[in-house]
């Protein structure tokens, strides 16, 4: 019998498979497909302080090995998430979940995270630092060590639960950002967020997405995500949630060998609603195939050679 359980900063998961934020709604929507209680946890749809309508359409552009999206953090705002969405999820999902928080100023991050921290259903707070800093010319918080440090310190000052920072891959050296997060008190890291990409319509000769560029995700980014997880595991002493193009049980094992304690499945959910379920069901047999008895034993295993 293979033991699939892992632990993220003291939060125990029955298995390492988590639907990624933005690809699984608030979770309860997927109950019509299968019993979502088989999931290790759920990363909720990205939440901001105020409601957001998001970016203009079209927001999605398909690619051969992935997709580009520019949804623009459409969400009902933190108060509505707490009042409406979390109670709906609680009726059908019995485990703690991961709150994904975005913001456009340090104070906004802190206020939203503080509200999420008070919720019993929330086990981990995942902070998306890929947002533009409106007080500093629009530069993303996650591309500057000073900005990301300010966010981490502000959030940690008002929260009691583990805080994981979701890192952007659109940087020169992701390990420098990771080190800044660790030095500022982060409890863990999630990586990677989407790469920046675009597609052009040959007939109109214009970008397909209204916002011109968007986040590129899917199987094509897996080698990049794997490389960054491997590098960050070497650079810091923090648990990592690996994200980026994971679509099979083999991908999960490979990502954990690189250094991830758990994984988030993103674009695969948009292609196949049963993606997470299928991966969880395939994990025991795949582990047996590679002689793995306890999945947690392989974390960072690729660094031991």
Q: Is the peptide bond before 243 cis (omega within 30 degrees of 0)?
A: no
Total residues belonging to the chain: 305
Question: CATH number, domain at 124?
Answer: 3.20.20.70
Mean pLDDT, range 178-203, rounded to an integer: 96
Does the residue 1 lie in any domain?
A: no
Output the 3-class SS for 122-182.
EEEEEEECCCECCCCCCCEHHHCHHHHHHHHHHHHCCCCCCEEEECCCCCCCHHHHHHHHH
Does the residue 210 lie in any domain?
A: yes
| Whether residue 138 has pLDDT greater than 60 | no
Look at residues 126, 131, 129 and name the one whose alpha carbon lies nearest to residue 99.
126
Model pLDDT for residues 72-113, shown as the tens digit of each residue: 899 999 999 999 999 999 999 999 999 999 999 999 999 999
Does the residue 132 lie in any domain?
A: yes
Mean pLDDT, range 193-207, rounded to an integer: 95
Which residue range is the domain that position 246 belongs to?
6-303
Q: Which residues are catalytic?
A: 131
- Return the pLDDT at 140: 85
Does the residue 174 lie in any domain?
A: yes
Model pLDDT for residues 215-272, shown as the tens digit of each residue: 999 999 999 999 999 999 999 999 999 999 999 999 999 999 999 999 999 999 999 9
**What domain count does the chain have?**
1
Pull the structure tokens for residue 27. Answer: 């979770």
């Amino acid at each position: 019998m293979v033991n699939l359980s892992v632990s993220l900063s003291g939060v125990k998961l029955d298995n390492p498979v988590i639907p990624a934020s933005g690809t699984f709604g608030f979770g309860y929507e997927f109950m019509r497909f299968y019993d979502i209680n088989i999931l290790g946890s759920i990363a909720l749809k990205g939440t901001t302080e105020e409601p957001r309508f998001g970016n203009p359409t079209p927001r999605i552009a398909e690619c051969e090995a992935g997709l580009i999206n520019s949804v623009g953090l459409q969400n009902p705002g933190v108060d509505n998430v707490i009042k409406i969405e979390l109670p709906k999820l609680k009726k059908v999902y019995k485990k703690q979940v991961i709150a994904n928080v975005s913001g456009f100023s340090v104070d906004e991050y802190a206020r939203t995270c503080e509200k999420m921290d008070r919720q019993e259903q929330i086990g981990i707070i995942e902070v998306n630092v890929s947002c533009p800093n409106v007080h500093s010319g629009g530069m993303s918080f996650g591309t500057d060590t000073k900005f990301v440090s300010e966010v981490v310190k502000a959030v940690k000052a008002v929260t009691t639960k583990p805080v994981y920072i979701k890192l952007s891959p659109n940087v020169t050296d992701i390990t420098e950002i990771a080190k800044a997060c660790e030095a500022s008190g982060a409890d863990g890291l999630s990586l990677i967020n989407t790469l920046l990409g675009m597609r052009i319509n040959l007939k109109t000769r214009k970008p397909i997405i209204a916002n011109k560029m968007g986040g590129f995700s899917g199987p094509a980014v897996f080698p990049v995500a794997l490389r960054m997880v491997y590098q960050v595991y070497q650079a810091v002493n923090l648990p990592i949630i690996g994200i980026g193009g994971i679509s099979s049980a083999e991908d999960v094992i490979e990502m954990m060998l690189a250094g991830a304690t758990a994984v988030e499945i993103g674009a695969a959910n948009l292609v196949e609603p049963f993606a997470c379920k299928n991966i969880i069901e395939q994990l025991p047999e795949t582990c047996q195939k590679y002689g793995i008895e306890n999945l947690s034993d392989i974390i960072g295993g690729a660094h031991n050679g």
